Amino acid sequence: MKSMLLAACAALALAGPAAAQIFPEPQPYPMPAPTLAPRDVPYPGLLKLEVDATDIDRRIFHVHETVPVAGPGPFTLLFPQWVPGGHSPRNSLEKIAGITIRAGGKPVPWKRDPVDVFAFHVDVPAGATTLDVSFQALSPTAADQGRVVMTDEMLNLQWLSLAMYPAGHYSRQVQIEASVRLPDGWAYGTALEPTGPPASGVVRFKPVNFDVLVDSPMFAGRYYRQVDLDPGAAIPVRLDIFADRPELLEAATVDQLERHRELVRQAYKLYGSTHYNHYDFLFALTDRMGGIGLEHHRSSEDGAGPNYFLDWAALPSERDLLPHEFTHSWNGKFRRPADLWTANLNVPMRGSLLWVYEGQTQYWGFVLSGRSGLLSKAEALDALAATAATYETRIGRTWRAVEDTTEDPIINSRRPQPWTSWQRSEDYYQEGQLVWLDADTLIRSRSSGKRSLDDFAKAFFGIENGNGSERPYTFDDIVAALNAVEPYDWAKFLHERIDEVAAKPPLDGLVRGGWRLVYTDIETAYFKSAEARRKTVDLSYSIGLTLGAGGDVAGVQWDGPAFKAGLTVGGKLLAVNGIAYDADRLREAITAARGGAPLSLLVKTGDHYKTFDIAWKGGLRYPRLQRIEGTPDLLTAIYAPRK
């Protein structure tokens, strides 16, 4: 067989190119017409959306939507594709099933667009005035299918995943009236305004445009309590608490709630405006529903553990969540990067300025946490130390600019990755935070303390009090606003830190703020709590290793001691120097290795057992900030409450 084949090949070769037959090369098959582009003209008529959210046993939302149509002919419905605040084209299309469309009681066949799979085409029959659209949204029944949004105690209803809308119009030009049937006895919170109290278990909301609808999700639940965070104000701010158990609702102390009220006061001092007529923190205390922190103009979806109030001292790393999401009402929702703002939810969103949208929100989130007392000054500084250490050692900074990481929501969508320190991740959040600290301390130093980034926040985010729409901005607008606060070459400052590959760690703001990053062998309380919350043992700054539950190798610092020994993510640490793994035993061994003791790790990967000898004599290392005596203490000034 083999020799015959060789002989055949030899014969072909002898025949030479002159005898070779010419075959046609392939050409691309024609593409279908693109989906109708959105135009800024009103869609005639009012859409009606009915969601039945009572099927909590099976975790299914049943949707019925009526869409008025002007006449017969081709018509396209869109399921939203881009997730506002998620910055990615990954809305849960795969969860939609049972789609049927009818007109006058008769089925109307639909066809999904072969390229734009979020578009559904129909041919509206003559005489039809309305399309009746029905489907189910099959919400995840386990975390491996996506974020769990329905439990026996609560649900998170996101209109984005429960409604279609007509192609061809800006989404703000499509008016829709929504209603929800909730399980008996459940309460709800949302930024939408009801037409009245629930009737026969159904809550009806006043008509809004499609953008406002998807920007106004709902939490509902069996156990609910509302706390007024701005008593007596004309524009209410409310904490709508939902919990796994009724006793968790009453766990908040007077002092804890007062710090949340102080958050509102401090935010108003910072921005000097509001762009909502009421604001609702939809706040879930749960370990059953999936975690979330998602911003909206008039509300936010916020998830914390059940013990947020009960274990207050032990869980500081959860307490910047509300300040972060609240800040987004100004930075992200009202002021929005021009390339991120889109005419509807099926046009690509571009995130080139997410280092402002998220980076400065990260900055103000922590500053407002400090100013409101949600974090003590020590906790706020320890949190900053942890961030500074991450970016001091983020070796991926040597090849990838911060701005390039703004594509990560599209590229990676927060899936686990093996080499975060080298690949980078959505670094525009925290590295952005450090760049804005750099800018703030620079303004404070140059103006001898007369001006600060607070002035920028008020001038940039605080404009047009009461405007509930969006005000887009560009890079040049940022530079101009910074220059108006403090003349400087801000374009160069930002280009060097954001667009260029900048190998130097972004720690100038710390030092100018009067503090330096140091490492000691004792964890800060904040670092410890972050480890506990993530259920990890974080040895990133010593042997370059992060372990998950039971010794799972969850992270290896690129080019660190564990990396150099050959370790990688995915194995399981079984033994340290021949004795079964235990976090304290590993820490003791790292300390003992300073004096020359061995540090030998037995790791199981699949069916293989391997021993790795770690060459590290530096002992345990954990980040914290240390005051640089004799220099102005700007950090303390930044985190101090404003009077």
> Footprint of Zn ion on this chain (CB under 5 A)?
358, 361
Closest CB to Zn ion among residues 360, 361:
361
* CB of 259 vs Zn ion, minimal distance in Å: 21
Axis-axis angle for helices 475-485, 453-460 (nearest 10): 130
Which residues 6+ apart lie within 8 Å of 573 measured at CB?
Answer: 547, 551, 552, 553, 581, 586, 601, 602, 603
Structure tokens given for 555: 């992270």
* CB of 425 vs Zn ion, minimal distance in Å: 14
* CB of 414 vs Zn ion, minimal distance in Å: 13
- Give CA–CA dist 254/216, Å, rounded: 29
* CB of 295 vs Zn ion, minimal distance in Å: 6
Which residues 6+ apart lie within 8 Å of 380 measured at CB?
Answer: 366, 367, 369, 370, 639
Side chain identity, residue 381? L
Task: Scan for tokens 């001691």, then name that residue.
Answer: 561
Alpha helices, H only, 352-474: 354-357, 359-372, 377-392, 402-405, 408-411, 420-423, 430-446, 453-460
* CB of 402 vs Zn ion, minimal distance in Å: 16
Residue pair 301/286 in contact (Cβ under 8 Å)? The answer is no
Closest CB to Zn ion among residues 68, 291:
291
Closest CB to Zn ion among residues 132, 358:
358
From 190, 172, 290, 295, select the one nearest 240 (Cα to Cα): 190
Q: How many CA atoms lie within 13 A of 579 on its CB side?
A: 10
Residue pair 528/513 in contact (Cβ under 8 Å)? The answer is no
Burial class (CB in 10 A: 0-12, 13-18, 19+), 607: exposed
Task: Scan for tokens 């959306």, then name that residue.
Answer: 49
* CB of 358 vs Zn ion, minimal distance in Å: 5
* CB of 139 vs Zn ion, minimal distance in Å: 23
Closest CB to Zn ion among residues 409, 513:
409
* CB of 294 vs Zn ion, minimal distance in Å: 8
Closest CB to Zn ion among residues 352, 361:
361
Residue pair 457/485 in contact (Cβ under 8 Å)? The answer is no
User: Which H or E run includes 636?
Assistant: helix 634-639
Closest CB to Zn ion among residues 158, 361:
361
Q: How many CA atoms lie within 13 A of 320 on its CB side?
A: 22
Residue pair 239/251 in contact (Cβ under 8 Å)? The answer is no
Closest CB to Zn ion among residues 361, 536:
361
* CB of 365 vs Zn ion, minimal distance in Å: 8
- Sort strands 187-190 and 110-112 into parallel, antiparallel or unpaired: unpaired
Closest CB to Zn ion among residues 332, 551:
332
* CB of 154 vs Zn ion, minimal distance in Å: 22
Closest CB to Zn ion among residues 150, 498:
498
Closest CB to Zn ion among residues 351, 571:
351
